[in-house]
Amino acid sequence: MIAEKMKPFVQNNSAIRMMFEEGNRLRAKYGADKVYDFSLGNPSVPAPDCVREAIIDLVNNEEPTVLHGYMSNAGFEDVRETIAQSLNRRFGTAFSAHNLIMTVGAASGLNVILKTILNPGEEVIVFAPYFLEYGAYVRNYDGKLVEISPNTETFQPNLKELEEKITANTRAVVVNTPHNPTGVVYSEETIKELAAILEKKQQEFGSVIYLISDEPYRELAYDGVEVPYLTKYYKNTVVGYSYSKSLSLPGERIGYLVIPDELEDSATVITAAAIANRVLGSVNAPSLMQKVIQKCVDAEVDVAAYDRNRLALYNGLKECGFECIKPQGAFYLFVKSPVADEKQFCEAGKKYNILMVPGSSFACPGYVRLAYCVSYETIQNSLPEFKKLAAEYGL
């Protein structure tokens, strides 16, 4: 009784549910503090105080029919202007309110821009490993997802293969940096090379290829690493941002799209994206949270807490003999499975109450993802268990 397109989702859903229930089963049996659940990307660091203060200030001082009311589908103009100016200060860009569309988180932002630009059958390129929901978003608009195989040396994007796979039918390339699930930050060199390839291919095919930069992890960067702002390198870039991680507000569904003036046919794309926001059913991003963002535009969560987790888990796993790229961003480690079948490795982990996500859930088998947005104690207590797990594989 459901749509054909929904059937594969429902079938896969039972696998996800089983993993979730396994976690609950282990917690019930051994106690929550004896289960090392690295499977969920849910921020463990609370929202900064600024968020609470802004909410109280707003409900006490703003007219409720405005605070909770409709506004333009793109969002409150003053909120967008504040964010634009903040971006300009930080990245030397020249945005103003009209370049921003407030969205119901980054997932909705990606849907909005894909609905705006994608015709049935057109191709969207993604780099493995990648967040599998990208495929669902592209299929929502009957687009075709094209995968680039992973560069497992560095987990920087495989640009040689990109160049080969761009066709006249390529409409967009999606990048995600800092990266889920590897934690890698794409270097400026990578970005420049990527931009050059896209420029060349646009020329060759007389087409417009949008670069969609999905950046919910932008503020979670370590070791002073620079996260290049992509609109400065390639003019047909659309940025999708979310405050889910930067302000620990994932449940609130608040983010934005940036559509720069330099983008081909920018005014039409901006108009169409605001309409897509409406007709997809969001109508607008939640109004109170828009105004909270305005007040907290330069606030930050305690990134140092994630950094401490990162170093403890990375160093601990290396000591156990596991292989892993040292992540410079986000809150994930992408660890090489000691056996080719990483699902078997995930199963073995459960014996030690360690929950990990198989790399095949990111189109990159042979690896597992550990989300270290957990308490520091969980990491410390998990390390002896990882040692036992490593021993099983003779590490």
Site for its own copies in 207-266 (CB under 8 A): 208, 248-253, 264-265
> In the bound complex, what is the minimum distance in angstroms from residue 154's beta carbon to its own copies?
30
DSSP secondary structure code for residue 5 in this structure? G
Interface region with its own copies, contact rule CB under 8 A, candidates 77-85, 272-280, 335-343, 344-352: 272-280
> In the bound complex, what is the minimum distance in angstroms from residue 137's beta carbon to its own copies?
7
Q: Name which position in 19, 50, 67, 311 contacts its own copies (CB under 8 A).
A: 67
> In the bound complex, what is the minimum distance in angstroms from residue 242's beta carbon to its own copies?
10
Write out the binding residues for its own copies, residues 134-153 only, by CB under 8 A. Answer: 136-137, 140-141
> In the bound complex, what is the minimum distance in angstroms from residue 200's beta carbon to its own copies?
19
Interface region with its own copies, contact rule CB under 8 A, candidates 93-101, 129-137, 157-165, 326-334: 129-137
> In the bound complex, what is the minimum distance in angstroms from residue 377's beta carbon to its own copies?
15
> In the bound complex, what is the minimum distance in angstroms from residue 385's beta carbon to its own copies?
24
9 binds its own copies (CB under 8 A): yes
> What is the rounded CA–CA span in Å between residue 143 and residue 126?
13
> What is the rounded CA–CA span in Å between residue 156 and residue 177?
10
> What is the rounded CA–CA span in Å between residue 97 and residue 87?
11
What is the x/- site pattern for its own copies, positions 336-375, by CB under 8 A? Answer: ----------------------------------------
> In the bound complex, what is the minimum distance in angstroms from residue 171's beta carbon to its own copies?
9
- Give the closest residue to 256 by CA, choosing from 236, 284, 281, 278: 284
Interface region with its own copies, contact rule CB under 8 A, candidates 28-36, 212-220, 283-291, 357-365: 283-291
Minimum CB distance to its own copies smaller for 35 or for 320? 35
> By rule CB under 8 A, what count of residues binds its own copies?
76
- Give the closest residue to 184 by CA, choosing from 132, 222, 210: 222
Minimum CB distance to its own copies smaller for 57 or for 204? 57
> What is the rounded CA–CA span in Å between residue 89 and residue 374?
32
Handedness of CA 13, 16, 22, 28 (dihedral sign): negative
Long-range CB pairs of 82-90 (<8 Å, 24+ gap) are 82/294, 82/297, 83/256, 83/293, 83/294, 83/297, 86/297, 86/298, 87/229, 87/258, 90/229
Q: Name which position in 99, 158, 182, 282 contacts its own copies (CB under 8 A).
A: 282
* Residue type at position 116: T
What is the x/- site pattern for its own copies, positions 88-127, by CB under 8 A? Answer: ---------------xxx-xxxxxx--xxxxx--------
- Give the closest residue to 36 by CA, choosing from 344, 362, 309, 270: 309
What is residue 146's three-state secondary structure? strand
What is the x/- site pattern for its own copies, positions 15-54, by CB under 8 A? Answer: -------------------------x-xxxxxx---xx--
Longest dimension (CA), the chain: 65
Sequence-ordered strand ranges (E) for the chain: 36-37, 100-103, 123-127, 144-148, 170-175, 210-214, 237-242, 255-258, 332-336, 354-355, 357-358, 367-371
Write out the binding residues for its own copies, residues 161-200 only, by CB under 8 A. Answer: none
Minimum CB distance to its own copies smaller for 103 or for 158? 103
Omega of the bond leading into 365 within 30 degrees of 0 (cis): no
> In the bound complex, what is the minimum distance in angstroms from residue 363's beta carbon to its own copies?
17
Minimum CB distance to its own copies smaller for 56 or for 168? 56
Minimum CB distance to its own copies smaller for 223 or for 265? 265
Omega of the bond leading into 178 within 30 degrees of 0 (cis): yes
Minimum CB distance to its own copies smaller for 185 or for 249? 249
377 binds its own copies (CB under 8 A): no
* Residue type at position 183: G
> Judging by DSSP bridges, how do beta strands 170-175 and 36-37 pair with one another?
unpaired
287 binds its own copies (CB under 8 A): yes
